[in-house]
Structure 1
Amino acid sequence: MLLAVDCGNTNVVFALFEGREIRVRWRIATDPRRTGDEYAVWLSQLLAIEGLERSDVTAMIVSTVVPRARHNLEVLAEKYFHVTPLFAGEGAAGWGIEIDVEEPNSLGTDRAVNAVAAHAKHGGDLIVVDFGTATTFDVVDFHGAYKGGIIAPGINLSLDALVSNTAKLPRIAIEAPRSDSVIGRNTEDQMLIGVFWGYVAMIEGLVGRMRAEIGRPAKIVATGGLSLLFEEHTKLFDHVDPDLTLEGLAILAERAGVS
């Protein structure tokens, strides 16, 4: 089975694939200091819970936006799974699409992986909105070329900045407001309305501007952990694929001849 690893700034997600289907996924907080040995202990226990062994992992592919984590993930693959890991965008796991921006090497691998997966699954002109530590908006044309995008603070970063830089505002959890009213009657509701509906307005506004600039109908694909939360409160998205990055890694591995 293929072990796909999406190492982001906040979490590392491990997914075990049988073909193109995810059998199981696990998530751990990103810590660049976490060693390959520590990953192995944690994963071995989780594999055992699923009735699996380390030997069931026959290939591994990694996307990481945290350079310091790369070596430890290589150690995990080679020492404990006895495989040479593929890295997204490199060698046999090359993108297979044009990265049509001024500095192609500066593009986060997760965003390129999303472009690969969105084009393979949905085709046509696309805008991919990824709700992660940052919220990113990526344009993929009907040929599959990555054309550029937008980087905005993630909703949790925005909330953290609000709370950290004010003396009396409490820390609240991100959730949908309890009513459709945008006039809050207490501090917590006012904060939630400002952050949540303000974020929805930002997403809708930026996507509207991007669509106008593209000049052709573009499908909107949402991904990332909070995509399901926002799906219920805007009609913007044509597709919601929370596992788009993991699916993109499986596509790259398949193209590279491993699974």
Structure 2
Amino acid sequence: MILVLDVGNTNIVLGLYKDEKLISDWRLSTDSKKSSDEYGIQVLQLFQYKGFDLKEVEGVIISSVVPNVMYSLEHMVRKYFGIHPMIVGPGVKTGVNIKYDNPKEVGADRIVNAVAAYNTYKRALIIIDFGTATTFCAVTKNGDYLGGTICPGIKISAQALFEKTAKLPEVKLIKPSTVICKNTASSMQAGIIYGYVGQVDYIVAKIKQEMAEVDNEEPLVIATGGLANLMAKESKTIQKVDSYLTLEGLRVIYEKNR
């Protein structure tokens, strides 16, 4: 079995693969203050709850955008699994050609998403990841990673609105039925949800215009991340939702480098 870890600013998502099949996945809070033993006990308990044995794991791969947590995670993997983990970064084979000015600046999660999507569809792509930040990535039909856009995530945008205003309440991220709302909470929800949908569709349209200059294939628009389904229901441009895109990309990269 292969264990993959996607370390984000808010959560660490773990996936356990047997051959090419995802057999279980879990989500932990990202906390740079946790020790390797604290992470190790958490992972051990997750495995035991599902009836899995740590000894059956033959490989571990980690993708991270949070450097401060990596020492604890790497040490946890070595101590509890007896394995030196593979880390997504410079020198790792991905199968995509990164066209960034400085390839080392590209977030590992963005590359992993691009690898998964291109490996699955083998065509031009726009990949939207609704995480702590929302990222848009453009990939050509030949597997060139062109770059993209980074926006504040929906949750942190909503949190900033609540924290920086004296009278506006904290609201749940649910879609109201109208944009002409008759109470403060619904008005905020409409602004956040529908405003973000408009942002998504506008950015996708601009990316398509720019991709047309270098690629003659209409890109497929894929969304992933926690709020992908909510956004996809309203967006005119999102065509597919893949909640496990990053985990699958980690599996593919592991296979390319094992």
TM-score (normalizing by structure 1): 0.95
Contact 1:88 1:95 in 2 (8 A): no
Partner of 1:133: 132
Contact 2:125 2:139 in 1 (8 A): yes
* Secondary structure in 1 matching 2:208: helix
Distance in 2 separating the partners of 1:47 and 1:134: 30
Task: Look up the equivalent residue of 1:3 and give its one-letter code.
Answer: L
Partner of 2:149: 150
Partner of 2:58: 58
Where do 1:40-189 residues align within 5 Å?
Answer: 40-91=40-91, 93-177=92-176, 179=177, 181-189=178-186
Amino-acid identity (%): 40
Partner of 2:244: 243
Q: 2:208 aligns with which of 211, 227, 236?
A: 211
Q: Deviations over 1:24-45 (max 9, x none)?
A: 1111111112111111111111
* Secondary structure in 1 matching 2:224: strand
Q: Deviations over 1:9-57 (max 9, x none)?
A: 1100111111222111111111112111111111111111111121121
How far is the alpha carbon of 1:119 from its aligned partner? Answer: 0.7
Contact 1:89 1:95 in 2 (8 A): no
* Secondary structure in 2 matching 1:146: strand
Distance in 2 separating the partners of 1:145 and 1:21: 27
* Structure 2 gaps, min length 5: none
How far is the alpha carbon of 1:95 from its aligned partner? Answer: 2.2
Q: Aligned residue pairs: how many?
A: 254
State which drifts further: 230-239 or 122-131. 230-239
Where do 1:33-44 residues align within 5 Å?
Answer: 33-44=33-44
1:3–1:30 distance in 2 versus 1, CA, 3 Å: same
How far is the alpha carbon of 1:90 from its aligned partner? Answer: 4.5
How far is the alpha carbon of 1:234 from its aligned partner? Answer: 2.2
Task: Look up the equivalent residue of 2:180 and give its one-letter code.
Answer: I
Task: Look up the equivalent residue of 2:141 and give its one-letter code.
Answer: F
Distance in 1 separating the partners of 2:99 and 2:25: 32
TM-score (normalizing by structure 2): 0.95
Q: Deviations over 1:185-211 (max 9, x none)?
A: 100010000000000000001101111
Distance in 2 separating the partners of 1:144 and 1:124: 8
